[in-house]
Structure 1
Amino acid sequence: MKTGRWSEPVTFETLTLGVYRTISSAAEAARVLLEWPVDGGAAWQKAHAACLAVLANEAEPETSRRG
């Protein structure tokens, strides 16, 4: 399976103060978005669509990193 690995990972703070998560591919980002606490906003939809495009081999991995 193509994962769409990024050249540089993204680190973000979770809902738990002081707990960080690092992701490094479109596949990881897509999974994280499915668990995201805010669902369906314009930014979320754009990021999710970008991840799916990479996984379908329709876009370059960095496209999903920029979201």
Structure 2
Amino acid sequence: MRDEQFDVPVTIESAPTGRPVSVTRTVQAATLLVDTWPDENRGPKYRAALKAMMDAMEQRRAVGSARRAFTAAAKEAHLFVREGRR
């Protein structure tokens, strides 16, 4: 599996701490989805993002598509802050 870099970072609110976290790579995003994502927010977009991240790391899907799926899951979970650098 490859750790691919996002072309545009995604900043989310960390579920355990409530602090902003800049997500810049596929392994980082997958780790957040598996280890710290709130159980009550593991809906359809969460599952799609997890699959998209695994597919991107196995080079079966474009990294940009996986990033967009992660962003959608963060919005669904009300954890999304912004895209891009600030």
Q: Which range, TM-score by smaller chain?
A: 0.7 to 0.9
Residue 29 (structure 2) aligns with: 29
The answer on whether the counterparts of 1:9 and 1:23 sit within 8 Å (CA) in structure 2 is yes
Q: Take 2:43 and 2:8, find their aligned partners in 1: how far apart are those partners? A: 25
TM-superposed deviation, 1:52: 0.3
Query: Cα 1:40–1:11, aligned 2, differ >3 Å: closer, same or farther?
Result: closer
Q: Take 1:27 and 1:36, find their aligned partners in 2: how far apart are those partners? A: 14
Of the structure 1 ranges 8-17 and 47-56, higher mean CA displacement relative to structure 2 is found in: 8-17
Question: Runs of at least 4 residues of structure 1 off by over 4 A?
Answer: none
Aligned length: 66
Residue 47 (structure 2) aligns with: 45
Q: Take 1:5 and 1:41, find their aligned partners in 2: how far apart are those partners? A: 25
Is the aligned partner of 1:62 residue 2:55? no
Equivalent position SS for 1:8 = strand
TM-superposed deviation, 1:40: 3.9
Equivalent position SS for 1:58 = coil
TM-superposed deviation, 1:14: 2.0
Q: Take 1:14 and 1:27, find their aligned partners in 2: how far apart are those partners? A: 16
Residue 11 (structure 2) aligns with: 11
Report sequence identity in percent. 24
Q: Take 2:63 and 2:24, find their aligned partners in 1: how far apart are those partners? A: 10
Bigger helix share: 2
